Amino acid sequence: MTLQVNGQWSRKSNRRKVFAIRLMALAAMGFAMPAPVAMAQDAQRSFNIPAQPLAAALNTYGRQSGLQVSLAASTSQGVTSRTVSGNLSPQAALAQLLDGTGISYSISNGTALIGRSTAVSVAADGDGTVLAPISVEGQAVGQGDVGETVIDARELERINPTSIADVFRQQPGVQVGSSLPMSQKVYVRGVEETNLAISFDGARQNNKVFHHNATNLIDPSILQAVEVDSGIAPADAGPGALAGAINYETKDARDLLADGKSFGGFATSTYNFNSDTVVTGLSAYGKRNGLDFLGYFTFGKGNEFHGGNGNVVEGTETNLLSGLGKIGYEFDSGDRFEISHDRLVDDAPRPYRANAGIVVTARPWEPRIRDYRMERQNTVFTYTDETPEGWWDPTAMLAYGSTEVTIPIFGRPGYLYDDTGRTATLNGKFENKFSFDIGNIVAGVDFYRDTAKLDDPNEAGREKARNIGLYAQARLEPWDRARLSFGGRADHQRFTGVDERSFTNSGLSTNVSGEYDITEILTAKAGFSHVWAGVPLTENFIINPAWNYGQHGPEPVTANNYMIGLEAEHDGFSAQFSLFRTNIDNARTPNYRYTADVPAPFPGALAALHARDLVSRGFEIGAGYEWASGYVSVRYAHIDVDVDGVPANSDSGNYLASPVGDIVTVTAAHTFEEWNLTIGGDIEIAPEYDHVVSGTPPYKAYEVVNLFSEWKPERLPHFTFRAEVKNLFDESYSDRASYGQEFGNVTPLYEPGRSFLITAKATF
């Protein structure tokens, strides 16, 4: 899936010819296309918003306009909106909604800013400036909670991600291990993502298949926005939010047709000179009489890339097939039904252990490369009321998702057979948002039925878990200058082991956070959460049918999260500082079997019940400045992670936590409006890190610089051309969260060296 490549210009000329032909074809399409009829803020949409408390009205406005809405503190308290009805531009609809309230507003770059005197970008700074703004990107992405970061559509467009690592590369508190997308894992403040509540379009994911693979293989080109709750997650983020939550929202026809047209599409193609990789995306979408649809298809093919040392990194070729389909219908009453399906397949030779380059073992029969096939799919059915009134704003969701990994197994004779690990989840929820003058309360019920299964001719096995939860989350502004968010959930789980014995557990989770405006520019914030997550399922490829779970079964996992911080904002300047700590107790880390040097209370017990404790602690500092046509931001994160009282290493990162240390990111971009040209880039600096296990060398330092330029020709208004160089100075390094850097018998997966990418995009 990655387009990461090195600057090797002497590659196969036929691929260059193919790319040149594609560019010329796209250009020909662009000359034949008419100019756009209107800007997004001038195009008309259908609005139906009854008079109601302002916070609820703006929530509905965000859905119907397709804009992100940011509401300043103390703006909505006690205010009732005006009725809005008819075909109006987003600008006219917002003016009508706020008529007579005396509240200022502006619309810029896809964001409606309510009650603010200066332009503020949630995406550029990565953090909301108030606890309870309404942050809507298509389908209500963002709840404005105290630890939340929203990477919205505008920021994703700036980044132009080619892998999930790119999506988070400007967030120092979020690391992504591995240079190979099918083995990339996300770590939030050092904690691996299976300890977070992960969702796609609001649907729970259950993807702990194989520790050498990614847990959530994602095509970033289908993403509309990403919401990260670091540490403290709200109760409505779902069960299992031990160290926070991540929600990925996919593209939606209503957002892509924000210019008022009823049909559209785009074609995009990226060529990576290092690995001769071409990735092409095609999309079509439309809406008519309440019906909307979207189809999106991505195909990527390419060779292995070169690292910064000039060597080929084996097993890194691209062979990607990805698709997304959505269809929705909105009745005159405002009732909306939508079904979406996305599927991604990565099928190519990979390193024998796909999260490491070379591992020297005492098993000479193991080849350095073997075939991997990984498939992830997700189907989501959603009901919402697009014209909610007061206390009736329901959402219902039912989803099914699965991830399947197939690999060949080798023994002394060589190849033996293929094994397939498969996880699946059926999950759903029904919730309602109760809105009133000082905020809202979201209350609901959710469930999941998860399965982890290994198909092996000799040692097949399966674990299952069922859970039902009740939850409520309040987001209130009870006094001027103060915002509160608090909630809780009660969960009841039934865990079934490989021996078909079942164990039931129940627990409570709570969270509370708040912000207080000390002055007009300075805000203090703090939060705490206690999370009960039940018993997590094991990894598929270590399932042992001989496991013995004892009399009481595995212990439920729990966590406590703490955070305090300050934020300041004035005339485009912003600054943030936060201290955090996460404690996770009884994190289940099963082993295939116990060893003789570690006594077990009964045969198989240690292997099935093994659990560990972890602590992640540190701080984050950020500062930035945003002006009308650009921004600059500097962020620094210091994160220490201990597992069972000793520093974490990359082996514990397989499903628990990874070392991070100090990470600095610098990002900047500026648009020269007279030329429709944007230039920008980012820098990641990782100093040497010596919080390591005794006898282990420190983690090496590295610095990486990425630059881009993007041009939208005035004579070709439907075209965008982009040129990028990644790893400008050809640094030879492995990302801090990648596996194996501290082990003498492991050559880690190196990141691509200097990489040149060219992208052309045509819309119609």
Query: Residue 663: which H helix or E strand, with range?
Result: strand 661-672
Please report whether residue 157 resides in a domain: no
Q: Are strands 646-647 and 203-204 parallel, antiparallel or unpaired?
A: unpaired
Closest CA to 229 of 216, 240, 213: 240
Please indicate, yes or no, if residue 150 is contained in any of the structural domains: no
The alpha carbon dihedral of 223, 144, 257, 334 has a sign of: positive
Expressed as residue numbers, the domain containing 622 is: 247-763
Compute the residue count for the chain. Answer: 764
How far from 362 is each of 365, 400, 649, CA to CA, in Å?
A: 9, 41, 22
φ, ψ (nearest 5 deg) of residue 404: -130, 130
- Domain of 538, CATH number, reads 2.40.170.20
Sign of the CA dihedral 183, 403, 372, 278?
negative
Q: Which residue has the tokens 């005197």?
A: 117
Phi then psi for 644, rounded to 5 degrees? 55, 40
pLDDT of residue 653: 87
- Please, what is the angle between helix 54-65 and helix 90-97, to 10°? 170
The stretches of 74-179 forming alpha helices (DSSP H) are 90-97, 122-125, 153-159, 164-167
The DSSP call for residue 289 is: T
Instruction: Output the pLDDT for position 101.
Output: 79
CA nearest 523: which of 144, 36, 60, 78?
144
Q: How many structural domains comprise the chain?
A: 1
Residue 452: in which H helix or E strand, if any? Answer: strand 439-455
Tell me if 409 is assigned to some domain: yes
Could you state, in chain order, the average pLDDT of each consecutive group of 10 residues for the chain (764 residues)? Answer: 34 39 37 35 70 78 75 60 82 83 70 55 34 32 65 89 94 95 95 95 91 91 93 95 95 81 93 96 94 96 96 95 96 94 96 94 92 96 89 94 96 93 97 89 97 94 97 92 94 96 97 94 96 96 90 94 95 94 94 58 66 95 93 97 94 91 96 94 96 90 97 92 97 94 92 97 93
| Spatial CA neighbour of 544 closest among 467, 452, 466, 449 | 452
Considering only CA atoms, which of 68, 83, 56 is closest in space to residue 116? 68
Q: How high is the pLDDT of residue 85? A: 81
Global pTM reads 0.84
Return all residues near 428 (Cβ < 8 A) that are at least 6 apart.
396, 397, 398, 399, 446, 447
Residues 6+ apart with CB under 8 A from 563: 146, 147, 231, 232, 513, 525, 526, 527, 528, 578, 579, 580, 581
- Let me know if residue 601 belongs to a domain: yes
Cα-based angle 621, 627, 631 (whole degrees, multiple of 5): 45
> Is 7 inside a domain boundary?
no
Q: So what's the pLDDT on residue 445?
A: 98
Both tokens of residue 437?
């003058």
∠ at Cα 205 (199, 210), nearest 5°? Answer: 135
State how far the Cα of 562 lies from the Cα of 426, in Å rounded to an integer.
32
